Amino acid sequence: MPDPRVAAVGTSPLGRTELTGRDLFSAAVAEAFADGPDPAEVVDAVYVGNQSESYEHQIMYGTLLAEWCGLRHVPAERVEGCAAAGALALRHAVEDVRSGRRDAVLACGVEKMTAGGTAGATNALSAAFDRALEQRTGVTAPSQYALLAQRYLHDTDATERDLARIAVKNHANGAANPRAQFQRETDVETVLDSDYVAPPLKLFDCAPVTDGAAVALVASEEVAAKFGTDGPAVRVAGVGAGANNIGVADRDLTFVEGAHEAAKTAYDEAGVAPADIDVAEVHDAFTSCEAMLAEAAGFAPPGRGYESALPPAERSDGWTDTHLSTSGGLKARGHPIGATGIAQAVEVYEQLTGTATPERQVDDATTGLLINEGGVADAVTVAHVLTT
């Protein structure tokens, strides 16, 4: 079974924009195909990760976007698992190429979150919770994640200051990433002084509301050769899927089981261990998520993931040398829900091809991990291992 290649990637501007979903998509496609053939010459199928029809009163986003880049008779569909939708699209593209069924598949994500204001985004995201058992209590995404974070602070030595340091690290990375929504640094006191959204999570612990699109063309070696790259070809060496209950009741609140399972499967397929991972984009929808995912993915010993922003020498024994969220993560690069999983692939592609900006480029990076989640924490989780 040949490893599919990531032949090309692109993103739209990420942040609060005047662009519609289709315009965001077009910008991402334009970047990805700038040095390659026309999409119609190579693309066999399109998968679009998109969370909510409510932002633009639009379903059928697969078909709409395929048509929008000139792919008239190319099968297209939308996949949805809330914020994991992007990685679900990527996984389908990878499996299609692995099977030999298709030679080049466009994996996309798009979300136009600002269309309904903050209330619109809060309402749209609340649809990810169980209607009968959760939504009617009035819970929001931050309040659900705060339950998990509160438990994490209770069970470990982590403090709110440790979580703040993760925000500071990711803002510093975002400051070095021309794609990031927040290209500016912050400091621990600013994070700690920001208002509580849901204790212990403060405004600066939370990923923002983001408009954006991202695309990755997954292709056979032959098709990938039609695209010029500035570095070695990037291979998709492993894929894993994990799952948990939709609700947080009756779960382990701090061990992210679904992500652990997804990462383990992806490692096994790729024949790598956590210590082999040079760069990882983890799903830091909140700073506490990065801490917990560092443990679930095997980068940090149990209960020590909160050290993720410390210099390696100051971390506990058992940490790997993996660089986390070099893009700025969801926190600073932005979190356009359905597009996040593909945006993660864009960052690791840049790291593995040596095309990241010098300030954030990890030297000699050859292996990367993506973990994309939907629902609260790991209700839907997809992990990919990319290698040179």
Give the count of residues interacting with a copy of itself (CB under 8 A). 56
Contact between 74 and a copy of itself by CB under 8 A: the answer reads: yes
Distance CA 94, CA 3 (A): 9
SS3 355: coil
Least distance in angstroms from the C-beta of 2 to a copy of itself: 14
Contact between 78 and a copy of itself by CB under 8 A: the answer reads: yes
Q: How many angstroms separate the first and last alpha carbons of the chain?
A: 17
The DSSP element (H or E) to which 48 belongs, if any, is strand 45-49
Distance CA 140, CA 259 (A): 22
DSSP 313-344: GGSPTT---PEE-TT-HHHHT---GGGHHHHH
Least distance in angstroms from the C-beta of 381 to a copy of itself: 8
Least distance in angstroms from the C-beta of 245 to a copy of itself: 5
CB atoms under 10 Å from CB of 147, counted, come to 14
Distance CA 181, CA 39 (A): 27
Sequence-ordered list of residues with C-beta below 8 angstroms from that of 57, at least 6 positions apart, any chain: none
Task: Out of 7, 24, 29, 45, point to the residue binding a copy of itself (CB under 8 A).
Answer: 45
Counting Cα atoms < 13 Å in the Cβ hemisphere of 194 gives 21
Least distance in angstroms from the C-beta of 209 to a copy of itself: 17
Contact between 64 and a copy of itself by CB under 8 A: the answer reads: yes
Least distance in angstroms from the C-beta of 382 to a copy of itself: 8
Task: Out of 11, 12, 17, 52, point to the residue binding a copy of itself (CB under 8 A).
Answer: 52
CB distance 287 to 185 below 8 Å: no
In this complex, which beta carbon is closest to a copy of itself, that of residue 380 or of residue 385? Answer: 380
Distance CA 238, CA 4 (A): 10
Contact between 86 and a copy of itself by CB under 8 A: the answer reads: no
Least distance in angstroms from the C-beta of 141 to a copy of itself: 12
Least distance in angstroms from the C-beta of 85 to a copy of itself: 8
Least distance in angstroms from the C-beta of 292 to a copy of itself: 17
* Residue count of the chain: 388
Contact positions with a copy of itself (CB under 8 A) in 238-257: 241-247, 257
Distance CA 386, CA 267 (A): 10
Beta bridge partners of 212: 111
Contact between 208 and a copy of itself by CB under 8 A: the answer reads: no
Contact between 75 and a copy of itself by CB under 8 A: the answer reads: yes
Q: Which stretch binds a copy of itself (CB under 8 A): 62-70, 177-185, 224-232, 311-319?
A: 62-70
Contact positions with a copy of itself (CB under 8 A) in 92-131: 92, 95-96, 98-99, 101, 126-128, 130-131
In this complex, which beta carbon is closest to a copy of itself, that of residue 68 or of residue 143? Answer: 68
SS3 158: coil
- Among 236, 256, 325, 250, smallest CA distance to 2 is for 236
Contact between 281 and a copy of itself by CB under 8 A: the answer reads: no
Contact between 209 and a copy of itself by CB under 8 A: the answer reads: no
Distance CA 328, CA 11 (A): 15
Least distance in angstroms from the C-beta of 288 to a copy of itself: 21
Contact between 51 and a copy of itself by CB under 8 A: the answer reads: yes
Residues that bind a copy of itself (CB under 8 A): 20, 22, 45, 51-54, 56-60, 62-64, 66-67, 72-82, 88, 92, 95-96, 98-99, 101, 126-128, 130-132, 135, 241-247, 257-258, 261, 374-375, 379-380
